[in-house]
Structure 1
Amino acid sequence: MRAWERPEIVSVPGESGAPWLHDTKTNSLVLAQPNDAARLYVCGITPYDATHLGHANTYLAFDTLQRVWLDAGLSVHYAQNITDVDDPLLERATATGVDWRDLAESQIELFRNDMVALNILPPSDFIAVTEVIDEVARAVAKLQGAGLAYTVPTDDAVAGANGQVAADVYFDIAAAEASTDWTLGDESNLDRATMLQLFAERGGDPDRLGKRDVLDPLLWRAARAGEPAWESPVGAGRPGWHIECSVIALMELGTDFTVQGGGSDLIFPHHDMSAGHAEALSAHPLAGVYSHTGMVAYQGEKMSKSLGNLVLVSGLLAQSVDPRAIRLALLARHYRTDWEWTTALLEEAVERLARWSTAFGTTALATRTVLAGHTTVSAASLVQDLRTALRHDLDTPEAISILDAAVETVSVIDEPELLNRAISALLGVAL
């Protein structure tokens, strides 16, 4: 699938290094230093109600991670999926009377346009689930053959082309734990009671009769009337949620890749189960670091499709909001924190953009001179401070504070073009 146009990343003189990143699995800061290329997987959207600021917050965080890696001289291989066939998408399509494929296509294009506006680096591999149906089905068959998956009969499945009525296929957690180094909860560090609650809230089916463990996740959903389905070695049907990311990540990045990223609402069950599927398929861990962004709230509640309390990037752009201001508003909160969007935050970002443009923008740089009584400040020193802040768990609020302080002084930057380039390369804001 086509991603979107890649923005230019200017080079910045000086030395940097790989970042320290919070790892959810160990609840500690670890050095995200790859041996070769930095390999990153970030879970993509289910294409409806795109792109709200919760989405934007996540993709901006991992855009910042890529920029830090690139600044350190590392190459980056970034993969992202699109869940373009799933229950929520099908339900929305039915409710609105739109073909699910048309809904997905329109929302994916909207997402691309929003990412371009926000100056987000695109993935190297942008993969829709419908592009890898065969690969997912073969992975499910492999798990079945290894005794790590089992079928559960269903009364409402429909026959495939060969007349065989398929059954739903589930991942056997206990069998996987017995035959691999993976254990349920390795990535999330949650107790079973919390897992049960989240599993029910986030797409799981703990009440499904016939499952060996109520937490066993769906790998393959047998064909139902009125739903899209594909013929496969495991019967007619379509992929479950978690297995799609396992298969795409292994296909594009291989095992033990550098960072698995996404919103904190994906920690369990999605990332826990994806890691289990991948290790069962490959006999290797999925990723070295599990990194998660905080949730963005609006009007007192977490911004979510189910609640409908969404602030859309496209809506702000339609109001002629400068996308650089949207980016700065998001960067002003640390990526791991939960916070609430308000118009005041956007107004603050608009004002900040104006101050920075006056102080560091290309027009200002052409006219600035050292005046009597003003102190000259080293741009190289400010750039190093920015790098230090970003290498410490992508501390964008600290980076913004450093630049705000520079604006507030009456000092003159000795190499203003250097600082301008650093703001563009590291924070993605062209002044």
Structure 2
Amino acid sequence: MRAWTTPDVPSLAVRGPEVALHDTASGALTPVVPQDPDNTARLYVCGITPYDATHIGHAATYVGFDLLNRAWRNAGHSVVYAQNVTDVDDPLLERADKVGVDWVELAERETELFREDMEALRVLAPTYYTGAVESIPLVIALIERLQAAGAVYRVDDDLYFSVTADPDFGAESNLTREQMLEIFPNRGGDPERAGKKDPLDCVLWRAERPGEPSWPSPFGPGRPGWHIECAAIALEHLGGSFDVQGGGSDLVFPHHEMSAGHVHVAGDAFARVYAHAGMVAYDGEKMSKSKGNLVFVSALRNSEIDPMAIRLVLLRHHYRSDWEWTDAQLFDAVDTVGQWRRALSLGRGAPAGPVVEDVLEVLAADLDAPAAVELVQGWVDATLGSDGLADTSDPTAAATIRDLLDAALGLRL
């Protein structure tokens, strides 16, 4: 599958520190220094199910992990980044049926809109952008490995994964069994299905149903389960023990727990660090299709809102925090972008060297974008001065700060 076009990003004269992230599994700030001999960092971030347009909650996640991609690059590492598109799944099929559109057409349309939104927000494109449909051969091969390990069984014609086959099951989410059982049915699980060995077991291969798409396999016609899809794609493109598995905090369980379990039982290690972005609310509740409280990136863009102002709103919230979107934040960001452009247009400015080093340092410490934004604001205030026209001594400051904003924060001003 085609990704979007990666923007040109300037190189900085100053190398950034090594990055550390909050690891969900350990609960600790953990260095994520690449272990590959070629100094390459490896990142997997779970992608969209393209049944609707990109909302601000999606954008916050992908901008958050874009900061990681940039921080690694500024620390001198190459990055191999894989992301999936769940271009066949129940929500997509249900949405297509509801609106009377072919599911393939819907998936292609919304995926293209997602690409446009990511380009507008200057999110660096993944190295590998893989759809669920094109990953089916990878999924089949991984299921066969799980069968060989004795971790697969049938319920009717569906294949299920035995979570008890992974002795480390639960180590990523750190949830109790009771907590898992409470969450599971709300996030795609079917704990009540008759014939399952354990209520927490998850589907690997969904057998063909009337009116649903299916593909041939050694197990009979059908389609992949959600968790095995990401496990197979990550393993194929990143190998075992890749550096970071990322996604929204609503993926901690069951999605990331199950994906890791599949790979563990197949005989490989999964991610070394699990990092999760917070949830974004609107009108007092988490943005979701079921609530109807979505703010779409494309709608804002079509209203002639500067995408850099949208990105700045996201950067003013730590990627791990839960927060609420408001129009006031957006309008304030529009004003701030204008102020920053004015400061940059002066050419001269307050000394830039300390700002560059400080911004790279706070971003390396768990991607603290709000602190980075405040540091830049300090430079802007010092440059403009009380009368807005301060003449300062660094004739290269504006160019240096402009490159910093682009390379580290993804803001092209």
Does TM, normalized by the shorter one, top 0.5?
yes
Q: Which of 68, 71, 80 matches 2:71?
A: 68
User: Which letter maps to 2:275?
Assistant: S
d(CA) in 2 for partners of 1:2 and 1:413?
A: 47
TM-score scaled by structure 1? 0.91
- Equivalent residue for 1:171? 161
- Equivalent residue for 1:46? 49
- Equivalent residue for 2:330? 346
Q: Which 5+ residue runs of structure 1 have no aligned equivalent?
A: 154-166, 178-182, 369-375
Note the C-alpha offset of 1:377.
3.9
- Equivalent residue for 1:115? 118
Q: Which of 142, 148, 163 matches 2:145?
A: 142
Residues 141, 234 of structure 1: 8 Å contact kept: no
Q: Which of 397, 402, 405 matches 2:370?
A: 397
- Which range moved further: 192-201 or 404-413? 404-413
- Equivalent residue for 1:419? 401
d(CA) in 1 for partners of 2:268 and 2:137?
A: 22
Note the C-alpha offset of 1:184.
1.8
TM-score scaled by structure 2? 0.95
Establish whether residue 312 from structure 1 lines up as the match of residue 296 from structure 2: yes
Partner secondary structure for residue 257 of structure 1: coil
Q: Which of 310, 314, 321 matches 2:305?
A: 321
User: Which letter maps to 1:18?
Assistant: E
d(CA) in 1 for partners of 2:173 and 2:323?
A: 21
Establish whether residue 359 from structure 1 lines up as the match of residue 343 from structure 2: yes
d(CA) in 2 for partners of 1:202 and 1:143?
A: 23
- Equivalent residue for 2:361? 388
d(CA) in 1 for partners of 2:32 and 2:231?
A: 21
User: Which letter maps to 2:8?
Assistant: E
- Equivalent residue for 1:407? 380
Distance 1:103 1:2, change over 3 A: same
Residues 242, 271 of structure 2: 8 Å contact kept: yes
User: Which letter maps to 2:353?
Assistant: A
Residues 20, 364 of structure 2: 8 Å contact kept: yes
Q: Which of 39, 55, 58 matches 1:55?
A: 58
Q: Which of 250, 256, 276 matches 2:241?
A: 256
Partner secondary structure for residue 274 of structure 2: strand
* Deviations, residues 132-169 of structure 1 (Å, cap 9, x unaligned): 2122122212212321110011xxxxxxxxxxxxx100
Establish whether residue 298 from structure 1 lines up as the match of residue 271 from structure 2: no
Establish whether residue 240 from structure 1 lines up as the match of residue 243 from structure 2: no
- Equivalent residue for 2:25? 25
Note the C-alpha offset of 1:19.
1.0
Note the C-alpha offset of 1:378.
2.5
**Cα-Cα RMSD:** 1.1
- Equivalent residue for 1:229? 214
d(CA) in 2 for partners of 1:82 and 1:418?
A: 37
Partner secondary structure for residue 219 of structure 1: strand
* Deviations, residues 58-101 of structure 1 (Å, cap 9, x unaligned): 00011110111111110000000000000010000110111110
Distance 1:140 1:125, change over 3 A: same
Establish whether residue 97 from structure 1 lines up as the match of residue 100 from structure 2: yes
- Equivalent residue for 2:198? 213
Q: Report % sequence identity.
A: 53
d(CA) in 2 for partners of 1:384 and 1:174?
A: 48
Note the C-alpha offset of 1:413.
6.1
* Deviations, residues 352-383 of structure 1 (Å, cap 9, x unaligned): 101111112xx321xx4xxxxxxx74311110
d(CA) in 1 for partners of 2:351 and 2:14?
A: 13
Distance 1:413 1:261, change over 3 A: farther
- Equivalent residue for 2:109? 106
Note the C-alpha offset of 1:306.
1.9
- Which range moved further: 134-143 or 338-347? 134-143
User: Which letter maps to 1:125?
Assistant: Y
Note the C-alpha offset of 1:278.
1.0
d(CA) in 2 for partners of 1:244 and 1:251?
A: 11
**Number of residue pairs the alignment of both structures matches:** 401
d(CA) in 2 for partners of 1:171 and 1:391?
A: 38
Establish whether residue 128 from structure 1 lines up as the match of residue 124 from structure 2: no
Residues 17, 361 of structure 2: 8 Å contact kept: no
Establish whether residue 333 from structure 1 lines up as the match of residue 317 from structure 2: yes
- Which range moved further: 17-26 or 247-256? 17-26
Distance 1:413 1:148, change over 3 A: farther
Residues 379, 413 of structure 1: 8 Å contact kept: no
d(CA) in 1 for partners of 2:74 and 2:31?
A: 15
d(CA) in 2 for partners of 1:256 and 1:285?
A: 5
Note the C-alpha offset of 1:420.
1.5
Residues 47, 107 of structure 1: 8 Å contact kept: yes
Point out 4+ residue stretches in structure 1 off by more than 3 angstroms: none
User: Which letter maps to 2:175?
Assistant: L
Residues 4, 115 of structure 2: 8 Å contact kept: yes
Q: Which 5+ residue runs of structure 2 have no aligned equivalent?
A: none
d(CA) in 2 for partners of 1:175 and 1:291?
A: 25
d(CA) in 2 for partners of 1:349 and 1:103?
A: 33
Residues 165, 265 of structure 2: 8 Å contact kept: no
